[in-house]
Amino acid sequence: MIRLYAASPETVAVVEDGRTNLTLENQGARCLAVDPENPDTVYAGTSDEGLFKTSDAGHSWDRLSGIAHSRITAVAVSPVDGALYAGTEPSSLFVSRDGGESWVELEGMKNLPSAPTWSFPPRPWTSHVRALAPGQSDASLIVTGIELGGVLRSTDGGESWQDQRPGAQPDCHSLATHSAAPETFYEAGGGGFAESVDSGDNWSSADSGMSLDYVWGLAVDIHDPALVYVSAAPGPMQAHGSGHSGAAIYRRTDTGPWEPVLEDLDEFPYALAADPEKPGALFAGLGDGTILHSGDSGANWREITGPSGGLDALAAVAV
């Protein structure tokens, strides 16, 4: 059976066995991470209320008081050693090695030469950590995406950092990895899609076939690391505005080119999540809270009841 966690400013919806339960209501949830070892343990970052944790699949939540920042913009759990990473606005990165009880700031990231240039266009006086990708086989590897500042990399658990990686999109929106291809990292960015085959060190653009290049959502098939999905819009105004988004969901097999599986959408697909049980299957979370599911690599879709209001993050787990 599949369980979905869907985050919106109004709630974290838990969708399971045809039922939708609304939890963590009115806390401004915006990002999610599920513990790879326990599908009942989930972390939810919020816009202004800090970081929350549930150990019982959303029935109850606790605010993690050990992290100083209230605006949590990205969260991830290492599949290797269980380290919990949380990124914030303004851009800082913290790590916990005891399930969120205590935290250490990885201050070296903010000392990079590019740090003074990081700036988020709608609020140019600040920036934030938008995406986190811990290594799939190396607990010391962590790749971080700054909006807007680039893709950064640490190979020693965050003690030291490499600045913006060559070829990566500077306007990073999403990062992904895959257990079957641990050296491959994927990025969705404001100028297209980029990929690294050397553990996030060097990157190259790989967006042949896309007619839209403002790329946001990103998912890699759970069984096949060559099957990748992204969502894209003509630009930021269409993606985040109140009108017709004109967005698409694209699919790529092997090395491309990309092909659309949904086009000219009214609502922007903010979040994509691979089905953890069925090869080729995908969930897509739209900006109005609608969740779509395709069991055949995007050929056909059905609608699932999701949260009310906008949907920012989506996680799918097998239970």
Q: What is the pLDDT of residues 53-78, one digit of tens each?
A: 999 999 999 999 889 899 999 999 99
Distance CA 193, CA 176 (A): 12
pLDDT > 90? residue 122: no
How many Cβ atoms sit within 10 Å of the Cβ of residue 75? 27
How many Cβ atoms sit within 10 Å of the Cβ of residue 68? 11
**pLDDT single digits (tens) 234-279:** 999 999 988 899 999 999 998 779 999 999 999 999 999 999 999 9
Q: Which domains does the chain have, with CATH numbers?
A: 2-318 (2.130.10.10)
Strand partners, 76: 85
Mean pLDDT of 219-243: 95
Distance CA 59, CA 149 (A): 37
Find the length of the chain: 319
Which pLDDT value is given to residue 304? 86
Which pLDDT value is given to residue 47? 94
Give pTM, 2 decimals: 0.96
Which pLDDT value is given to residue 18? 83
Q: How many CA atoms lie within 13 A of 112 on its CB side?
A: 26
